[in-house]
Structure 1
Amino acid sequence: MNETVKMLLNHTSIRKYKDKPIDRDTVDMIIKCAQMAPTSSHFQAYTIIEVRDRKKIDTLYEVSGGQRWVKEAPLVLLFCADLYRGSEYFENTDKAVFGNTECYTVAVIDAAIAMQKAFIAAQSLGLGGVVVGGIRNDVAVLSDQFKLPDMVAPLFLLCLGYPDETPGLKPRLPQEEIHKIDYYDNSRQSQNIEAYNETMKQYYIDRTGGETSDRWTEHCGKALMSKTRDDVGVKFRKKGMLLR
């Protein structure tokens, strides 16, 4: 097994960081790697904002629901879906097209792939981190704080730093639940999920010393219903996205 595969298979989210700054060469390399991510039709429909202003960090902390790693991470990168650049500069186009669902989907995928490239690069350089989607709790506030024009939407943060913890690996679904061949085979789905529920229940018992014993389906149901963010689509439409 090569070192890259070993690193990927040992991925964990890191939420506690050493009091050690990340030098500019490292930051620049992480961004360069993000920029080399695959992108639909070479649109590169995303923007990465490095957040240094402590007041803006405080805003991200508050909007995300008080996730302390947002405040504590030495490097915070805000990833945005960006259709503004294309709508302003692509030639021979109908601007209305940029408001459709397909363009929005392309921008979100571009941003997500770029973030993953940045994350892998950071891990290879000895950093750890966590992705934070809670910033979508208030798209309007972030649009104002970061001066995001219409057709630019904040999606998630990548918080990075030198790890000061070694959390255990979190079990994943059985591979056959993710990897299908030729068609969507759900003939063993109930059995797979029930077995996985027991695996995750034991994981949470061990991780929390018995304080939590949620099954996977229980945990995800609680998470989903605690943050439905029903207004995100409305707010994105106000920014000129998802109009058709």
Structure 2
Amino acid sequence: MSTSRHFLLAQSLARLIQKERGGERICEGYFSSHSGRTAYVELDGRGGRLILITDGTDGPIEDRAEVPLAHAAALLDVTAAAVEYFRIEIVSGACQIQIKRMFNPGPLDLIAVAFEDVEEAHAFEPPLWFGPEVTSVPNYWTQTVALTGVPNPVEVPLSDAALMSLLDALENRAPAAKSPGRFSGITKVASRPPAHPPGTEPALFAPVRHETTIKDVEESLIRELARSLHPQRP
């Protein structure tokens, strides 16, 4: 049975990732919850989907139905609450990692890594640039954030080692992890098909891309990180 683990991410590191890799704007609207069932509508640059998650004997079961963008937008208007974020996918070693940069109802940066089974999830060792794990904390679940807002801010520690670990991952120089992560199966962070060719995406949900090189971003972030680690004294 597929499963996933979730972690916090320092805001400065999340900004570096988005500047280097861009991101796709996602909106999820949640209907009122019922016992054993969760339903929500998802919109992105390719269209919309209606997702139903029900409790099964072996774990949650997810059903997806593609719907036209106009219909998805109409469904979104009648949902109880919604959340918006930029989704960024990167590969580090053998792991496929998804970053969520939430901006509505508030700022929150999260990491998700999906696995095919619980054994793989337990064997996974998070890299240094990951923040504290929040897999079992309901306040950080997307539906909870949509319905109740972002949780109180948590200070995510930064270090030179964490920064260098992230830069290695962005440059595809990270060591192979013990367990591969896969965005498939019943997890809500399932992989998506390639986006439309440039210029064909609806403007509202078009992917955001940046031309900044990793060297420029690296130099800027290192200066910012140095100031945060070694504040000036009066």
TM-score range, shorter chain: under 0.3
Query: TM-score, normalization: structure 1?
Result: 0.21
Query: TM-score, normalization: structure 2?
Result: 0.21
Which one has a bigger Cα radius of gyration?
1
**Structure with the higher fraction of residues in strand conformation:** 2
